[in-house]
Amino acid sequence: MDKLISVIVAAYNVAPWLSRCIESILAQKYKNLEIILIDDGSTDETSNIIDCYAKKDPRIVAVHQKNAGLVAVRDKGIELATGEFVAFVDGDDALDPDMYERLLNNAEKYDADISHCGVRFCFLDGHEEAHYGTGKIVVQNNFDGVKDLLEGVFIEPGLWNKLYKTSLLKDSCLEPSILNNEDLLRNYVVFSRAKKSVYEDFCGYQYFQRDGSMSKDKDRVVSSARHIAKARHLIVENASKEIYPYAMQTWLSAIVNSINEMTDSHDQECVDYCKECRDVLKKERKNLHYLIKRQQLAARLILISPTLHRKVYHVYYRTKYEQ
């Protein structure tokens, strides 16, 4: 295993966590790495930290640019990558020491274009949740790879727990304006190109949850929901006949989930967006059978009576989460 892996690190105002991230990459058992650290116009010490590490290790390429967003950072990294394989890391996360060694070993063993693994979610209080760590290995052909990605049962939609053949990533951004679910959208393009993928369920990527992330920003809840729905609708529009049912499922599930999450909000923007989502469900009534049964029921309740849906959802939520 002497193939070069280009590791693309997106860094924007992550100074408190960036050294942990870089050190975990430098500590990889697999050493043939090109580490592309991209500072996306940070206003904290991120830029200086990157430059300091670039002076210490010749494998590191330091890149500084005006703030352009995560999609543009990753496109820049892909453009600069010279390795046969590419991996992505967020600057506030970290890796287990054997992650790339195991992923590359699987890619070569199974002649796969994509090799991926599980993830550990690390929380501020110190506890971790493994997804999932069963140790199973799944070899996926083109159809199964895309289907499994869209179903989301065991494949994380993120880019960061995967190793890709570089050739798959060229021009893989379907819509640069997408700010949420951009990983899923790019993965859809890349998995659609891959002849074979291999998944080993070990939790090699450490995804750190922290305050201030977009996913936790209540002020952006509607904006985030719109981007998620747009990304998934783009997948529907680009899906083959065989993949269409799974693409429709992932889009309509996002619509139902948005209504569920905003059902008690009195914010006018949320109320208006829920009405938009209900209109989508009306228009796509003939396709609701693609949803799993629980979401089919929710969608039909939303269409019959939003008030009844709200009451039923409260009972379901209490039963599931508050016992």
Q: Does the pLDDT of residue 214 top 70, yes or no?
A: no
Asked if the structure places residue 213 within a domain, the reply is: no
Tally the domains of the chain.
Answer: 2
Using alpha carbons, select from 72, 80, 78, 85 the residue that is nearest to residue 32: 85
Q: Is pLDDT of 321 > 70?
A: no
Q: What is the pLDDT of residue 210?
A: 79
Point out the domain boundary residue: 176, 208, 240: 208
Boundary of a domain, candidates 151, 180, 208: 208
Task: Tell me which of 1-15, 203-217, 225-239, 302-316 is least confident.
Answer: 203-217
Region label for 133, one of left (φ > 0), alpha (ψ between -120 and 50) or beta (otherwise): left
Clarify whether residues 85 and 175 are in a common domain.
Answer: yes
User: Which three-class secondary structure state does DSSP give residue 119?
Assistant: strand
Same domain, 132 and 237: no
Residue with structure tokens 């065991």?
A: 154
Please tell me whether residue 132 adopts helix, strand or coil conformation: coil
Q: Is residue 47 part of a domain?
A: yes
pLDDT in tens, 106-131: 999 999 999 999 999 999 999 999 99
Instruction: Based on the fold, state whether residues 9 and 148 are members of the same structural domain.
Output: yes
Select from 187, 208, 229 the last residue of a domain. Answer: 208
Q: Residue 236 — very low, low, confident or very high, per pLDDT cuts 50/70/90?
A: very high
Q: Is the peptide bond before 132 cis (omega within 30 degrees of 0)?
A: yes
Q: Residue 272: name the closest of 259, 282, 281 by CA.
A: 259
Q: Determine the angle formed by the axes of helices 182-193 and 142-151, rounding to 10 degrees.
A: 160
Beta bridge partners of 37: 9, 62
Assigned token pair, 235: 């997948």
Share of the chain above pLDDT 90, in %: 92
Query: pLDDT tens across 295-311, in order?
Result: 999 999 999 999 999 99
The length of the chain, given as a count of residues: 323
What domain range is 224 assigned to?
218-321
The reply to whether 240 falls in a domain is yes
Contact call for residues 195 and 235 (beta carbons, < 8 A): no
Both tokens of 92, joined, read 């506030």
3-state secondary structure of 312: helix
User: Position of tokens 């930290």?
Assistant: 49
The answer to whether residues 173 and 93 belong to one domain is yes
Residue 64 has pLDDT above 50, yes or no: yes
Answer yes or no: is 89 within a domain: yes
Proportion of the chain above pLDDT 70, given as a percent: 95
**pLDDT value, residue 318:** 67
Residue-level pLDDT at 215: 41
